[in-house]
Amino acid sequence: MSADGGMSAESVANKDRSDGAPVLQAIKLQKYFGGLKVTDNLSLALRVGRIHALIGPNGAGKTTALAQLSGELSPDAGRITLRGRDITRLSMPRRAKAGVIRSFQITAIFNDFTVLENVCTAVQSRSRHHFSLIRAAARDHRLLDPARQMLTRVGLERLADRRASELAHGQKRQLEIAMALSAEPIVLLLDEPMAGMGPKEVATIADLLDQLRIDHAILLVEHDMNVVFRLADEVTVLVNGAVLTHGSPMEIRGNRQVQAAYLEEHYA
């Protein structure tokens, strides 16, 4: 089941970075909800070292596209490849194991667990010892040490023993990202990671994404245009499920079609 054949995520990322080929590629995806075409001939490529922003007005099909990339929905037509291997029919858990990890637009954390337990569960997803029935997970340093490091990285270390349900909204979003990262992804699919965060938290997470870019291929669905234009290396604009245009942030900013379809809706 291991997709990387024993190579560490880091060495895989190094290889991916050096050849510049797309790690995750979507080719002509189509998806219908009944008679409604929600994904229309969508192609996009994610490369290590680049943040690819997916933007578009509400209802453009961004989350549906992300669901197909993560394996939660399967496209009606088209292909998805991970390092050239066809993963179109691979289930969400298997894709996650292969290194494609998503975060959720609506925060999906384990409310009854502490913050630390949440991250430990994500760390555990990378190991092969889930069926360990007797050893206490709460004293397992192979889970605790990486989890504590991750909490420090996203700025939640002081809240480690707090129950997740007691966190403020922005903190829950930080936890959501910590969990996605703890699963050691190669491809990160982030569905509006900064939605509802305060300016300080946005800055923390933006800095974090900036660092993560080095050894991850990142798809960023985001509404905050300042964040998009600051972080993105390339931008795909989705309207009615179809790609309106694709280009560098500079090109997108100057594109009149985009302004008409999307930006004016926000800034008018």
Partner 1 sequence: MRVPIRRAWLGAALLPVLLVLVPPFASAIRYPYLVTVINQALIYAIAAMALDFIMGYGRLVSFGHAAFFGLGAYTVGILSTQFQQGAPFILGWMGTNEAFVAWPLAMAVSAAFALVVGVISLRTTGLFFIMITLAFGQMAYFFFISLSAYGGDNGLTLSLPNTIAGSQVLSSGVPFYYVCFVLLLATWWLLRRFVNSRFGRVLQGSRQNERRMRALGFRTFPYKLVAFTISGAIAGLAGALIANQSGFVSPAIMHWQQSAEFLVMVLLGGLSSLVGPIYGAIALVLLDQVLVAVTPHWEIILGPILVLVVLFFRGGIYGALSGKGDRA
Residues in touch with partner 1 (CB under 8 A): 70, 72, 91-94, 96-97, 101-102, 104, 108-113, 117, 120-122, 124-126, 129-138, 140, 143, 161, 179, 183
Min CB(106)–partner 1 separation in Å: 10
- The residues that bridge with 80 in the sheet, in sequence order, are 26
| Choice between 183 and 258, CB closer to partner 1 | 183
**Residue 174 beta carbon to partner 1: minimum distance, rounded to whole angstroms:** 16
Residue with Cβ nearer partner 1 (132 or 152)? 132
Q: Which is nearer to partner 1, 180 or 202 (CB)?
A: 180
Distance CA 134, CA 112 (A): 21
Nearer to partner 1, 136 or 268 (CB): 136
Cβ 104 to partner 1 shortest distance, Å: 7
Residue 181 CB, shortest distance to partner 1, in Å, is 11
Q: Least distance (Å) from partner 1 to the CB of residue 108?
A: 4
**Closer to partner 1 by Cβ: residue 50 or 97:** 97
Three-state SS for 188? Answer: strand
- Give the tokens for residue 224: 């905050």
Nearer residue to partner 1 within complex by CB, 17 or 162: 162
* Type of residue found at 157: E
Which H/E stretch holds residue 208? helix 199-212
Q: Take residue 55 and report the two structure tokens written for it.
A: 């933007």
Query: In terms of CB distance, is 109 or 235 closer to partner 1?
Result: 109
Structure tokens at 161: 């023993």
Smallest gap from residue 138 Cβ to partner 1 (A): 6
Q: How many CB atoms lie within 10 A of CB 136?
A: 7
Nearest to 105 by CA among 152, 166, 62, 151: 62
Q: Which long-range contacts (CB under 8 A, 24 or more apart) does 201-210 make?
A: 201/155, 201/170, 201/171, 201/173, 201/174, 202/227, 204/154, 204/155, 204/174, 205/154, 205/173, 205/174, 205/177, 206/230, 206/231, 208/153, 208/154, 208/177, 209/51
Closest of 75, 13, 7, 73 to residue 39, by C-alpha = 75
Hey, how many other C-beta atoms are within 10 angstroms of the C-beta on 141?
Answer: 9
CB of 66 to partner 1, least distance (A): 11
